[in-house]
Chain A
Amino acid sequence: MITPAQIPGPALTASTSNALRSRVITALVYDKPGVLARISSLFRRRGLNIASLTVGHSEKPGVSRMTFVVEGQENIVRQIAAQLDRLIDVLEVLDITEKNTVWRELALIKVSATAVTRTEVLQLASIFRVSVVDVGVESLTFEVTGDESKIDALIELMRQYGVREVMRTGKVAVLRGSLVVGEVDGSFFSKDVAPKIAAAELAGDDSGSV
C-alpha cells in the first residue's frame, strides 16, 4: 500500500532552476461538462502531475470550487495558473500556497484488526480523533480529518497492524478570516475589466508590482 504522497511525480524537463515544490491552487469554475478537461489539459501539456484534486459545489449556484495540489517548478505552475485564469469557464484562480489558509483532508482507512489487536488499534487511533465508521471480523475502518501530515502519521502508525485500504479526498482549503476566494480583487462576477487574478498572485517573481 502506498499513499499518494509516496507516488513519485513525473520527471520535469523544464530548464529553469526553480525548485520543485507543491503548490496549492484554488479555482472557481463553472459547473458544466468539459471544464475539467479544459483545465487538466493545461497541466498535461507541461507534463505536470496533479497530486490531488477536489471539486465540489461552491456557495454560488452553478459554480464549483476546485483545489489542486500540483508538484512542479514554481514559475511553471504560476504560468499554468495564469493560463487557467484565461479559460472562459474559469471565474477566478488563486495560488494560495503562501496564503494564510485552513487546509483539511478527509481519509477513510481500513486497518487489519483481530480480536487480539482491536483494542490497541482503537486506543492508538483515538489519539487522532478518528471516527470508527465500520467494524468487520478482521478489520476496522476509520474516518479521519486533518491536515496532510496528521493523516500521513496515522497511516504510518497503523502499518504495523496492516493497512488494507486508504481512500483520501485530497486537500480542500479556505482563506482565514473574512477574505473569500473569488472576491479578492473585489470584482467577482462583475463585468469589470480588471484582470481575473488577484494582483501579484500569479505574475511571476515577488515584485508585487503586477
Chain B
Amino acid sequence: MAPRQLTGGQIVCESLIAEGVDVIFGIPGGAILPLYGSLSQYPKLRHILVRHEQGAGHAADGYARATGKVGVAFATSGPGATNLITGLATAMMDSVPIVAITGQVGRGAIGTDAFQETDITGATLPVTKHNYLVMRASDIARVIKEAFHIARTGRPGPVLIDIPRDVFQEKAMFDDYAAVQTDIPGYRFPSNAPVAQVEAAAKLINESKKPVILAGHGVVISRAFKELRELAEKAQIPVVTTLLGISGFPEDHVLSVGFPGMHGMAYASLALDQADLIIAIGSRFDDRIVGDAKRFARSSKKIHIDIDRAEINKTVQVDAPVIGDVKHVLDQLNPLVHKTTHTDWVRHVEHLKAEHPSLKIRETDQLLGQHVIQGLSRVTRGNAIIVTGVGQHQMWAAQHYQFTQPNSWLSSGGLGTMGYEVPAAMGAQAGCPGKLVWSVCGDGGFQMTLSELATVFENRLPVKYAILNNNHLGMITQWQDLFYRGDHQAETYTGNPDFVKLAEAYRIKGMRVTRQEDVIPAIEEANRHPGPVIVDFVIAKVDHVYPMIPSGQSVAELMEEKL
C-alpha cells in the first residue's frame, strides 16, 4: 500500500491489525476518545467493552494465556490507567504478554496536574516489562512493533504504551508496517543455551540416582510439552509441576507427581526434598515452593533452566544454570541424556504417594469444595480450560482437577490476584470460542470483579462460573485458625447477595447446589446450556486446605489432614 497520511489513532489501529490483533478489551474516556474515533473504520478489531479497567487487564491476560497471543487492553488517562495496574502486575508476575494502550492528557498539559492526569509510565515502571510515552504520531508504528516484540518474546510480559490525546489526532505518514524498523539493540534474549551449560546439566542428570523434574510456567509458555515428556520418559524422571506449571505435563501420566509447596501434594514436596537432583525447568523457585531457602532440598544438586538470567541464584543457589528458551534447551539436552529407568527411585515416589494420600477427601455428608472440583474433573475429563481466583478454591482446583490437556490451567500464581477469575475466564473464552471454559471462583474474589458479568452477557461468552461459596474469605479463616489463635477478624460475609438472583439480574442462567449428589447433574446442565452460567455451590462453612507447609518453613513442618 502506498504511504498515506493517517492520524495517530488510525496508525494505532493499522498497527494492531498488522500485529494480528483481533480482540481488544477496553473502556473509553476523554484522553483516549480520539483512538475510539478511529476504531469504527477498522471492523477487524473487535472491541469488547468492559465494565472496569481491571477487567480489561485480566481479560487480556486470560486471552493471552489461553491463546498464546498478545492480549490487548485500552484505557483512558488517570483513573482508567491506574485501574489497569493490578492487571499489569498480575501479568508481570506470571510472565504474560499484554500490550496496554492508555490515553494521556494532551502534550501541552503533561506535568500540570491536568484533569485525569497520572504519570502512568512512572507508576507502571515496576509492573511492566517495558513502557513508552509516545510524543509524536510518527513514532507510533515503531513503538507498537517494539512493544509486541518485547511482550511476546524472551520472558514474556506486559508492555504499556501511553499516548497523549493530541498525538492520536496528529497526522503522520504510514506505510508498510512490515518495513517499520525497530530500534531496541538493548533487548536481547537467548534461544539455545551455550553448549557447555547443556553438557554440564546432562552430566548431572546422567549421574543422578534420584532425579526430579520441577516443571514451571516456562514449560507452558514455551509450549515445550512434548520435549518435557520426552526427557521424563527417556530417563524415567518423576515430574513435579509448580502451581503455574500445572497442565505442562499430563497428570494421568505415571511419572506425574503433582505440585509441591505450601498447599501442594505432600508427596511432591517430599520427592523434592529427598531427590539427589532437581531439574528446574522454567520455574523461579518461588517462595511458595521453597519456603525456608536454607532448608530447601538440601540433599540435591540443582539444574536451573531459565530464559531469564536474573532468576539464577535469586533464592536458591544452583549447581548448573542453563540460560535459554526451555523448548530449545530441552531439544539440546534430550539427546545427551542417557536412556535409563530409575526403578528404585520411581518406586519410592510411588510409595510416597501411597503413604501420603493428599487427594483423599474426608468422609462427610457436607458439600465440600473438593467435591465440586472432582465433579468438574469427572464431567469435563480434562477437556476444559480451568480459570481460578486466589484462595482455598484455587488450591482445591489445583489439587483435585486432573489436568491432562496442555495449557488448560489459568491462575494468578505470582501476584495472587483475587477477582482474576471473572474477567480472565471471559478473556480466555473470547480467545477460544470453541472451548469449554470453567471459572472456579471464591465468593470473595467473585464479588471483586463481578461487574464483568454484564460484559460476558453482552458478548455472548458462554463462560461457566462455579462459585465455591462458603460466605467466608476461607484462606483468611484458615490462617487465623492456624496462626492467629483462631481470632477470626474480617473473614465472614454476613450479607452476601443471592448469587442465583444476581445471575438472573445479569440475564445469566443461575443455579444453586447444596448437596454432593447434585454436583455432577448441575455441571452437566451448565455444560449443555449454550450461554453463560453461574452455579452457586454452597459448601461447608469452615474447612482447611491440606496439606500445608506454613510460610517460610520446610517440608519438616508439613501438615496433613488426619482422615
On chain A, the residues within 8 Å of B122 by CB distance are 37
Q: How far is the CB of B12 from chain A (nearest CB, A)?
A: 20
Are A34 and B310 in contact, CB atoms less than 8 angstroms apart? no
Are A202 and B309 in contact, CB atoms less than 8 angstroms apart? yes
Instruction: Knowing A193-B191, A195-B323 are in contact, say whether A34-B121 is a contact too (CB < 8 A).
Output: yes
On chain A, the residues within 8 Å of B312 by CB distance are 82, 203-204, 210
Contact of B323 among A34, A204, A205, A210 (CB under 8 A): A210
Are A88 and B186 in contact, CB atoms less than 8 angstroms apart? yes
**A158-188 near B? 1/0 per residue, CB < 8 Å:** 0000000000000000000000000000010
Pick the most buried of A190, A192, A193, A202: most chain B CB atoms within 10 A of its CB.
Answer: A193
Instruction: Knowing A88-B150, A203-B321 are in contact, say whether A79-B313 is a contact too (CB < 8 A).
Output: yes
Instruction: Knowing A89-B186, A210-B321 are in contact, say whether A205-B313 is a contact too (CB < 8 A).
Output: yes
A118 CA to B313 CA, complexed, in Å: 56
Whether B126 is near chain A, meaning CB under 8 Å from some CB there, is: yes
On chain B, the residues within 8 Å of A205 by CB distance are 313, 317
A210 CA to B150 CA, complexed, in Å: 24
Whether B435 is near chain A, meaning CB under 8 Å from some CB there, is: no
A34 CA to B125 CA, complexed, in Å: 10
Q: How far is the CB of A140 from chain B (nearest CB, A)?
A: 43
Q: How far is the CB of B498 from chain A (nearest CB, A)?
A: 44
Are B126 and A189 in contact, CB atoms less than 8 angstroms apart? no
Nearest residue (CB) in A for B196 is: A209
Nearest residue (CB) in A for B185 is: A189
Interface size class of B (residues with CB under 8 A): 20 to 34
On chain A, the residues within 8 Å of B321 by CB distance are 203-204, 209-210
**A88-109 near B? 1/0 per residue, CB < 8 Å:** 1111000000000000000000
Are A204 and B310 in contact, CB atoms less than 8 angstroms apart? no
> Chain A interface secondary structure, helix, strand, loop or mixed?
loop
On chain A, the residues within 8 Å of B197 by CB distance are 209-210
A190 CA to B186 CA, complexed, in Å: 9
Are B125 and A209 in contact, CB atoms less than 8 angstroms apart? no
Are B185 and A203 in contact, CB atoms less than 8 angstroms apart? no
Q: How far is the CB of A133 from chain B (nearest CB, A)?
A: 37
Instruction: Knowing A38-B125, A90-B186 are in contact, say whether A83-B320 is a contact too (CB < 8 A).
Output: no
**B285-328 near A? 1/0 per residue, CB < 8 Å:** 00000000000000000000000111011100101110100000
Are A197 and B309 in contact, CB atoms less than 8 angstroms apart? yes
On chain A, the residues within 8 Å of B191 by CB distance are 193
Instruction: Knowing A88-B150, A205-B317, A210-B321 are in contact, say whether A83-B310 is a contact too (CB < 8 A).
Output: yes
A202 CA to B191 CA, complexed, in Å: 19
A204 CA to B319 CA, complexed, in Å: 11
Interface set, chain B 130-178, CB cutoff 8 A to A: 130, 133, 150
Are A41 and B309 in contact, CB atoms less than 8 angstroms apart? no
Interface size class of A (residues with CB under 8 A): 35 or more
Q: How far is the CB of A139 from chain B (nearest CB, A)?
A: 40
Pick the most buried of B122, B186, B189: most chain A CB atoms within 10 A of its CB.
Answer: B186
Whether A86 is near chain B, meaning CB under 8 Å from some CB there, is: yes
A78 CA to B319 CA, complexed, in Å: 17
Are B314 and A79 in contact, CB atoms less than 8 angstroms apart? yes
Q: How far is the CB of A143 from chain B (nearest CB, A)?
A: 35
Are B320 and A196 in contact, CB atoms less than 8 angstroms apart? no
Nearest residue (CB) in B for A210 is: B321
Whether A30 is near chain B, meaning CB under 8 Å from some CB there, is: yes
A192 CA to B129 CA, complexed, in Å: 20
Q: How far is the CB of A63 from chain B (nearest CB, A)?
A: 9
Are B310 and A79 in contact, CB atoms less than 8 angstroms apart? yes
**A26-40 near B? 1/0 per residue, CB < 8 Å:** 000110001001100
A91 CA to B187 CA, complexed, in Å: 8
Q: How far is the CB of A189 from chain B (nearest CB, A)?
A: 5
Are A41 and B125 in contact, CB atoms less than 8 angstroms apart? yes
On chain B, the residues within 8 Å of A210 by CB distance are 197, 309, 312, 321, 323
Q: How far is the CB of A22 from chain B (nearest CB, A)?
A: 21
Q: How far is the CB of B111 from chain A (nearest CB, A)?
A: 12
On chain B, the residues within 8 Å of A38 by CB distance are 125
A73 CA to B475 CA, complexed, in Å: 36
Are B309 and A82 in contact, CB atoms less than 8 angstroms apart? yes
Whether B17 is near chain A, meaning CB under 8 Å from some CB there, is: no
Q: How far is the CB of A82 from chain B (nearest CB, A)?
A: 4
On chain A, the residues within 8 Å of B357 by CB distance are none
Nearest residue (CB) in A for B292 is: A15
Pick the most buried of B187, B189, B323: most chain A CB atoms within 10 A of its CB.
Answer: B187
Whether B200 is near chain A, meaning CB under 8 Å from some CB there, is: yes
Whether B1 is near chain A, meaning CB under 8 Å from some CB there, is: no
Whether B184 is near chain A, meaning CB under 8 Å from some CB there, is: yes
A195 CA to B323 CA, complexed, in Å: 8
On chain B, the residues within 8 Å of A45 by CB distance are 126
Whether A135 is near chain B, meaning CB under 8 Å from some CB there, is: no
Whether A194 is near chain B, meaning CB under 8 Å from some CB there, is: yes
Are A91 and B125 in contact, CB atoms less than 8 angstroms apart? no
Whether B416 is near chain A, meaning CB under 8 Å from some CB there, is: no
A53 CA to B543 CA, complexed, in Å: 54
On chain B, the residues within 8 Å of A194 by CB distance are 188, 190
A18 CA to B309 CA, complexed, in Å: 21
On chain B, the residues within 8 Å of A87 by CB distance are 130, 186
On chain B, the residues within 8 Å of A89 by CB distance are 186
A201 CA to B392 CA, complexed, in Å: 43
Nearest residue (CB) in B for A76 is: B314
Contact of B310 among A75, A85, A191, A193 (CB under 8 A): A85
A102 CA to B314 CA, complexed, in Å: 31
A195 CA to B319 CA, complexed, in Å: 19
On chain B, the residues within 8 Å of A90 by CB distance are 186
On chain B, the residues within 8 Å of A190 by CB distance are 185
**B229-268 near A? 1/0 per residue, CB < 8 Å:** 0000000000000000000000000000000000000000
Interface residues, chain A, CB within 8 Å of chain B? 29-30, 34, 37-38, 41, 45, 75, 79, 82-83, 85-91, 187, 189-197, 202-205, 207, 209-210
Interface residues, chain B, CB within 8 Å of chain A? 121-122, 125-126, 129-130, 133, 150, 184-192, 196-197, 200, 308-310, 312-314, 317, 319-321, 323
- Given A37-B125, A79-B314, A195-B323: 15 more A-B contacts, CB < 8 Å: A41-B125, A41-B126, A86-B309, A87-B130, A88-B150, A88-B186, A88-B187, A90-B186, A195-B188, A196-B186, A196-B188, A203-B309, A204-B312, A204-B313, A210-B197
Subset of 25 A-B contacts with CB under 8 Å: A34-B121, A38-B125, A41-B126, A45-B126, A79-B314, A82-B309, A83-B310, A85-B310, A86-B309, A87-B186, A89-B186, A91-B186, A191-B185, A193-B188, A193-B189, A193-B190, A193-B191, A195-B190, A195-B309, A197-B309, A202-B309, A203-B313, A204-B312, A210-B197, A210-B309
- 8 interchain residue pairs of minimum CB distance: A204-B313, A82-B310, A91-B186, A88-B130, A83-B310, A88-B187, A203-B312, A189-B185
